[in-house]
A and B are shown apart, each in its own frame.
Chain A
Amino acid sequence: MELLTLGFLLFCIVLVIIYYLVPKTMQWWVLLAASLYFYAMSGIKNMIYVLITALSTYAATRMIQSLTDRQKEWIKANKKTTSKEERAAYKAHIQAKRRAILVAALLLNFGILCTFKYLHFLIAQVNTVISSFGASPINDTLKLIIPLGISFYTFQTMGYLVDVYWNKCPAEKNFGRVLLFVSFFPQMTQGPISNYKDLTTELFKEHTFTYHHFSWGAQRMFWGFFKKMVVANVLSAYVQDVFANYASYSGITTLIGAFMYSVQIYADFSGYMDMMCGFCEVLDIRLTENFERPYFSKSIAEYWRRWHSSLGAWFKTYVYYPMAMVKWNQRLGRWSKQKLGKTFGQTVPASVALVVVWLTTGLWHGASWAYIAWGGVNGIFIIVSLWMETVYASWKQKLGINEASWGWRAFQTIRTFILVTFIKVLPEVGTLSDGFGLWKQIFTNHTIPRSFHALLPFVDKKMPLLAVMIGTILIFVTSLIQRRQPIRQWLEDHTNYAVRILIFAVLFIVIVYFGYPASGNGGGFMYEQF
C-alpha cells in the first residue's frame, strides 16, 4: 500500500474509528489486523517471511524463557542438596542450550535477510575471485525481491531475542502480540527500530482518545507530508539528474546537487517519521523518535546519535557493547595500554568495536562496496576523533577558542554538515568509483557557470525550485524553534485556533499544488530500499 495516496488516508481514518470504538483490551487486535492487511497489500508472499520471523522468534524466546525458568526452579529446589560446582555445571548446561537456541534463531532470521539482501552481492564477489583464477563464474539466475521492511523488522525482532536471552525482558506468551511487535505497520517499512519493552508498553496499554493527541498527531502528519512531497520528492528529481550527469556538470553545480541530496534525504526520512509518529500519536501510541535535528550536530559522532538514532541505539546495544566487552578485545586493550600508552591504548577496544559497527552499518544500508566504504569513512572519522580528542583539546586551549561561543558552535555545525554531506553522497551515485568521481568533480572542475541555467541545469519548470527553497527554509526555521520547545507547542502559544486551522488548510493546498507525486520519479521513500 502506497503511503501517499487517498487509499492510505482512508485506511488510517477507518483504522482510527474502529480502534477507538472497540473495547480497550481489543485495540491491539485491531492494530494487528490492520498491520497484516497493510503488509498483505504489498504482496501475500512477503507475509510468509514476516510470519517465519515472528514464529521463529516466538518459539526461540519461549524456549529460552522456559530454560531460564527451569534453571531458576531447579536451583531453588536443589539449593540445599547440591554443591556450588553442581549448580554451576547445571547453569552452564542450560546456558549452552539457551545459546544454541539463540544462535539457531539468529542464523535463521539473519539467514533470510542475508539471502534476500546479500546473496547477489556475495555471488558477484565470489565470481570476481574465481574468474581471476580462470574458473567459470557461478550463474546467478535467482531473482530475489527483497520483502518490504525486512531489514527493519529482522533487526527489531533479533533485538528482542537477545533481550530475552540477556534476561532484560521476559518472553511474550501470546503469539499475536509478538506478531504485532514484528509487523506493526507504521514502523515496519522504515523503522524506527524499537526495543520490545518500549514498543509493547505503548502497544498494549489502554488507549483513550484525546483531542490533544488527535490535533497534535494530525499536525505532525501534515508536516511530514509537506517535507516528503514538497521538498524531498522535488529535490529527488534534481538530485537524480546531478548524480546521473555529474561528469558533465561543473564542480559548483555538483556541490549544490550534493547539498540538495542532504536536504532531500532528511526531508524524505524525517518526513516519513513525522507522518508515522503523528499517526501513532492519534492512536495514543508514542513511537521512538529517530531524529533530533541532526544537521545541528557538532561532530559526526553526535550526528549519528541524532540521525536514525534507533538504528544507532540498536548497533550500540547489540554490536558495539558486546564487541567492546568481548574477552579478546579487552585483552587487546590491556596490551595496547602497555605498548602504546594509556591514553591511546584505552581507546583501542572501542575503536575495534567501532570498526565492526560501521562496516556492518554500511552493509545494513546496502549490499555494495560503496555502502561498505560509506560505513568505513564514517567509522574512520569517528575513530580518529576519538584518538585525537586530547590533541584537539590542547589545540583549542592554545588557540584560545571558547567552545561555548556562538561562532565556534556555528563553525562546528557547518563543518559537520559539509562532512556529512560528502560522506552521504558516496554510495548514492552508483558504484564506489562513481562516488569518488563525484568528489573529484567537485574539487577539480572549477568552471564558473555563466547563467542560472548553467548553474542549475536540472531545474525543471514543472518542479518549482522556489517552493523547495521556501520549504527548506521552513524546515530550518522549525528546527531552530524546536531547540527551545516543540513546534506544535510554539504554534499553540503564538496562534489561536482559527489561525492554526488556516495555516494547515494553506499547508494542505501547498502540499497538493507543489507536492511532486509519489509514484514514478522520486516515488517511494528512500529508506524503504534499505
Chain B
Amino acid sequence: MNNFKSAIRTCIIFLIVLTILSAAIMSAFFAGENYYYQDSRERAELSGTLDFFVCGASHAMRGFRPDIIDEELGVNSYNLSCSRQTMQGRYELLKLELNRNPAKTVVLELSYDSMTRNRDEEGPEGDIYMLGKLGGFMPRVKYFFSAVRPKEYGRMYYNYLDNGVNCIKKIIHGTWKDKNTKLEKGYAAYKRDDDELNQDLKQIYHTRSFEETIYEPNVDYLNKIIALCKEKNVQLILVTTPLSKVTVCRYDNLDTFREWYENAAKENGLQYYDFNLIKDKEEKLPDSSAFSDKFHLGNKGAGTFTKMFTDVLNKEAAGENTSDLFYSSYSELEAHMSLDK
C-alpha cells in the first residue's frame, strides 16, 4: 500500500512541477504578444454597446476595419474574427456577443475553405486564439471541452509551449517591443511581403483547385449561426472577402464555393456578397498595393475594401439594385479579366 501511495504522490508532484514549468514558459505568450486576450478585454469593456459584428477567419480579421464601418454606417461595430477561426468558434463567439449586446447586424465571412477545413488541419491552432478571445474562465473551459478532442490535447499543449518559446526568443533577441499588435476593435493591420504576388498569371492560370470535400460539422455550425441570428432577430449577411488576383487566377473551382454560399443564402433568405466578383475590384484593389499576401488584404486594401462593402450596404439600404455591381460568376469575371498584370 505504501508503494502505491508513494507512486501516486510522485505522479502528483511530477504533474505539479510540470504544470509550473509549462506555465512559466507559456506565461510570456499570455502576458505579451497574445492580443487575443487584449481583444477579449476590449470587448468586455464595450459590452452592451455594440450593434454590428463581423465574424470570420483571418481574411475577415485582416479585411474589415470597424472604424470605417462605424463612420460609414453609423453603427458601433466590432470585428470578432481571428486567424484559423473554426465555424464552431464563430458560432460560440457570436452566441456570447449577441447575448450581451444589442446587435442588429452580423457579417459572416465565408471563404473557400470555411466549409471544407476539418479539425485536423488547423483546428487546435485556431482554438488557441479562440480560447484567448472568449471572455471568462467558464466559457473557455466549456469551449475547450466541446471543441478540442482528447487526441488533440498533446497538440494544444505543444502549440501553447511553442507560442511561449517564441515570445521568450523575442525577449532574448530584443524584439519584445513589438509584442503588442495594435488593435482597433478586433481589426489588426497586417504587414507581410509575399513574393508570390508577383507571378506570371498566364503560367499559373487554373493550375490548382481548392479542396471540395465538405466537413459536415462546419455546415451544422453555419446552420446554427443562421438559427441564432433569426432567434435574436439579427440581420445576417454572408460575405466572401477579396482574394488577390494571383489566387483568383490560380484556382479553378471558386465557382463551386460561390454556388454553395449562394444556395445557402437563398434557402435562408439572406444576402450573400462575393467581393472577388465586384466589378471594380481589380482597379481598386490591385495586388501590388492592396494585398499583404496572396490571401489577405493589407491595411490600405482593408480600408478600401471596407469602404466598398459599406457602400454596397448603403446602396442596398437605399433600395438600389446592387447585383449590377457584381459579376454573376467567376467564369464571367475571368471573361473580363486580363492576365497581363
Q: Chain A: residues with CB nearer than 8 A to chain B?
A: 5-7, 20, 209-211, 214-215, 501-502, 504-506, 508-509, 512-513
Classify the interface of chain B: helix, strand, loop or mixed: helix
Q: Is B7 a contact partner of A6 (Cβ separation < 8 A)?
A: no
Q: Which residues of the partner chain B approach A209 to less than 8 Å between Cβ atoms?
A: 3-4, 7
Some 20 contacts from A to B, beta carbons below 8 A apart, are: A6-B150, A7-B151, A20-B4, A209-B3, A209-B7, A210-B3, A211-B7, A214-B3, A214-B7, A501-B13, A501-B14, A504-B14, A505-B14, A505-B21, A506-B21, A509-B161, A512-B154, A512-B161, A513-B161, A513-B165
Q: Which residues of the partner chain B approach A5 to less than 8 Å between Cβ atoms?
A: 151, 154
Chain A residue at minimum C-beta to C-beta distance from B25? A509
Chain A residue at minimum C-beta to C-beta distance from B162? A513
Q: Which residues of the partner chain B approach A7 to less than 8 Å between Cβ atoms?
A: 151
Q: Which residues of the partner chain B approach A214 to less than 8 Å between Cβ atoms?
A: 3, 7, 10
Q: Which residues of the partner chain B approach A211 to less than 8 Å between Cβ atoms?
A: 2-3, 6-7, 10
- Contact count band on B: 20 to 34
Q: Is B7 a contact partner of A215 (Cβ separation < 8 A)?
A: yes
Rounded to whole Å, the gap between the CB of A158 and the closest CB of chain B is 38
Rounded to whole Å, the gap between the CB of A407 and the closest CB of chain B is 43
Q: Which residues of the partner chain B approach A210 to less than 8 Å between Cβ atoms?
A: 3
User: Does B99 count as interface, using CB distance less than 8 angstroms?
Assistant: no
The 7 closest A-B pairs by CB, nearest first: A211-B6, A211-B3, A505-B17, A505-B18, A214-B7, A513-B161, A210-B3
Chain B residue at minimum C-beta to C-beta distance from A4? B154
Q: Is A509 a contact partner of B22 (Cβ separation < 8 A)?
A: yes
A-facing mask of B132-157, CB < 8 A → 1, else 0?
A: 00000000000000000011011001
Rounded to whole Å, the gap between the CB of A466 and the closest CB of chain B is 13
Known: A5-B151, A513-B165. 9 other contacts (CB 8 A): A6-B151, A6-B154, A7-B151, A501-B13, A505-B17, A505-B18, A508-B18, A509-B161, A512-B158
Rounded to whole Å, the gap between the CB of A517 and the closest CB of chain B is 9
Chain A residue at minimum C-beta to C-beta distance from B161? A513
Q: Which residues of the partner chain B approach A508 to less than 8 Å between Cβ atoms?
A: 18
Please measure, in the bound complex, the distance between the C-alpha atom of A506 and the C-alpha atom of B154, giving whole angstroms.
16
Q: Which residues of the partner chain B approach A512 to less than 8 Å between Cβ atoms?
A: 154, 157-158, 161
Please measure, in the bound complex, the distance between the C-alpha atom of A6 and the C-alpha atom of B161, giving whole angstroms.
17
Chain A residue at minimum C-beta to C-beta distance from B4? A209
Q: Is B158 a contact partner of A215 (Cβ separation < 8 A)?
A: no
Q: Is A215 a contact partner of B22 (Cβ separation < 8 A)?
A: no
Residue in A20, A505, A506 with the greatest tally of chain B CB atoms within 10 Å: A505
Chain B residue at minimum C-beta to C-beta distance from A504? B14
Q: Is A501 a contact partner of B17 (Cβ separation < 8 A)?
A: yes
Rounded to whole Å, the gap between the CB of B165 and the closest CB of chain A is 7
| B residues 14-44 touching A (CB-CB < 8 Å) | 14, 17-18, 21-22, 25
Rounded to whole Å, the gap between the CB of B231 and the closest CB of chain A is 38
Given A6-B154, A512-B158, A513-B161, are A502 and B7 neighbors across the interface (CB < 8 Å)?
no
Residue in B6, B7, B154 with the greatest tally of chain A CB atoms within 10 Å: B7
Chain A residue at minimum C-beta to C-beta distance from B154? A6
Q: Which residues of the partner chain A approach B14 to less than 8 Å between Cβ atoms?
A: 501, 504-505
Q: Which residues of the partner chain A approach B157 to less than 8 Å between Cβ atoms?
A: 512
